[in-house]
Amino acid sequence: MVEKVPTGIEGYDKVLKGGFVKSSVNLISGSSGTGKTLFALSFAYYGALKFNEKSVFISLEEPKDRVIVNCGSVGLDLNAVDQNLFKFHDLASERGSFSSESELSPSSKNPIIMDNLLKYIRLYFGDCKRIVVDGVVPLNLVCRDLKEFRSNLFRFSMGLRKSGITCVFTTEVPFNSNDTSRFGIEDFVADSVTKLNATDKGHQLRVHKMRGSDFVRGNVDYSITTQGIKVMF
Ligand SMILES: Nc1ncnc2c1ncn2[C@@H]1O[C@H](COP(=O)(O)OP(=O)(O)OP(=O)(O)O)[C@@H](O)[C@H]1O
Ligand SMILES: [Mg+2]
């Protein structure tokens, strides 16, 4: 029996038949505004709050103050959670101070170069159990091409798996696209893929794969409420 790591989102854990596989890399994809950040953040937040596991949320897309406001509106109070267990690492603000990401050489200390980020995680967060990277699209900016992005993402993911960390990445897809990732790479590297969809009829998620575990197939409704994400299963 594989060991599972519950996300803490009740219905989603039922869909995942208990949660993500321990030490796996899990992709949450969807178009803008579908709830990717809130799903991923819930995994880290509930990890600390409900399961007493050290959890790190690395934000590459939105600065901390904006995430705090956004998740406050769905009842996730980041200031209320034990700060020894929950770490928010704001790389979005750091990115803002770079003059041009594409100009930075791979040998620099640029934290969005994946090898640097992995070293940083091992050094400062090596004892954590859960890591979220929201999202991986900026990590592509410092790669020469998609081949390099793929091999860096692969190495980054292998490094996290070896550390025994259960990881969530988010990635975006264009509105109305049937794709499960932005570059057609993230979904192959990941052990599980959940795609979020928002339409006029409501929100639906679908788990596309989960290596090493059974899961509920097909579309499942979810909603974003003032009490967090509800997955109706
Ligand atoms: N209190 C709330 N009640 C209902 N829906 C909410 C509430 N607060 C936020 N939302 C919805 O949550 C969505 C934003 O969630 P989130 O930021 O996780 O999406 P995202 O997929 O990460 O977006 P982006 O691609 O811009 O990063 C918005 O569509 C917003 O309408
Ligand atoms: Mg987001």
25-51 residue pLDDT tens: 999 999 999 999 999 999 999 999 999
- The string of pLDDT tens digits covering residues 113-127 is 898 899 989 888 889
Can you tell me the mean pLDDT for 143-167?
A: 96
CB of 56 within 8 A of CB of 128? yes
* CB-proximal residues (5 Å) to ion ligand 2: 36-37
Q: Is residue 220 part of a domain?
A: no
CATH code of residue 69 = 3.40.50.300
Cβ–Cβ < 8 Å for 208, 193: yes
Residue 170 burial (CB count, 10 A): 27
Range of the domain at 129: 23-98+105-201
CA dist 169 and 153 (Å) reads 11
Distance 114 CA to ligand 2 centre (A): 20
Atom of ligand 1 nearest to the CA of 74: 1
Residue 13 lies in a domain: no
Residue 176 domain-assigned (yes or no): yes
The amino acid sitting at 192 is S
Ligand 1 binding pocket includes 61 (Cβ within 6 Å):
yes
Asked if residue 157 is part of any domain, the answer here is yes
Residue pair 110/116 in contact by the 8 Å Cβ criterion:
yes
Tokens of 178: 């049937």
For the chain, count helices (H), then strands (E): 7, 11
Is 1 within the bounds of a domain? Answer: no
Buried b (16+ CB within 10 A) or exposed e, 192-225: bbbbbbbeeeebbbbbbebeebeeeeeebebebe
- 161 domain residue, yes or no: yes
Centre of ligand 2 to C-alpha 1, Å, is 33
- Specify if 58 maps to a domain: yes
In a domain, 183, yes or no: yes
CA 35 – ligand 1 centroid, Å: 5
Local structure of 54: helix, strand or coil: coil
Reported pTM: 0.95
Q: How many domains does the chain fold into?
A: 1
What's the average model confidence in pLDDT over 184-197? 97
